Amino acid sequence: MGDTIITISDVLEYLFCPRFIYFMHCLAIPQNEGSRFKVQKGREVHEEKRITNTEYLRKKLGVVRKEMNVFIASKTHHVKGIVDEILFLDDGTAAPFEYKYAEFKDTIFQTYKFQLVLHAMMIKENYNLDVKKGFICFTRSNNQIEEVDFTEKDFKKGIEIIDEILEIIDKGFYPGKSRYKNKCIDCCYSNICT
């Protein structure tokens, strides 16, 4: 494996459509400003961050300490990114905590879930602690906090995702189309994507 380090934003792009990685990294074609899909991790929630009640976190989630806006990278897994918060829990484990400027609609999207899974992998490696779950705070649903439990399968899938992204970037592999045709309708790459 080479020296390429991908970002969490790359992962979100990939999960939307693997071809985004090819067009952006192999052909160096940026996304249009006005494209429907925007990875704005953290940007728009900036103003609304840190409004969760610390006392609530301590009591309900068993948080003994937390670190905020943590830049984190994994040499093993070739990925880097910023975690909104890392919670250290009273059972000796740690957990990533992400804010989403979104409403909670009874489901956790795969993009949200695997962002957390990759954060968990990086926390494990850097802090040498077990990570069994993560949390998402939906700021447009009155800061509702949803817990996401991780399985071994999730961690395996996380590694697969990274490997596939590296294969596209490092080897120029042209991936298949998105499985979800409705994503293609107003995709900024639709005119060059065959």
29 or 159: CB nearest ligand SF4: 29
Q: What angle, 0 to 180 degrees and rounded to 10, lies between the N-to-C axes of helices 8-16 and 110-127?
A: 150
Question: Nearest approach, Cβ of 37 to ligand SF4 (angstroms)?
Answer: 8
151 or 190: CB nearest ligand SF4: 190
DSSP state string for 48-110: GTT-S-HHHHHHHH-EEEEEEEEEEEETTTTEEEEEEEEEEETTS-EEEEEEESS---SS--H
As to burial, measured by CB atoms within 10 angstroms (0-12 exposed, 13-18 middle, 19+ buried), residue 55 is exposed
Is the CA virtual torsion 19, 20, 23, 24 positive or negative? negative
7 or 178: CB nearest ligand SF4: 178
Residues that bind ligand SF4 (CB under 6 A): 17, 19-20, 177-178, 183-184, 187, 189-190, 193
144 or 190: CB nearest ligand SF4: 190
Question: Nearest approach, Cβ of 154 to ligand SF4 (angstroms)?
Answer: 24
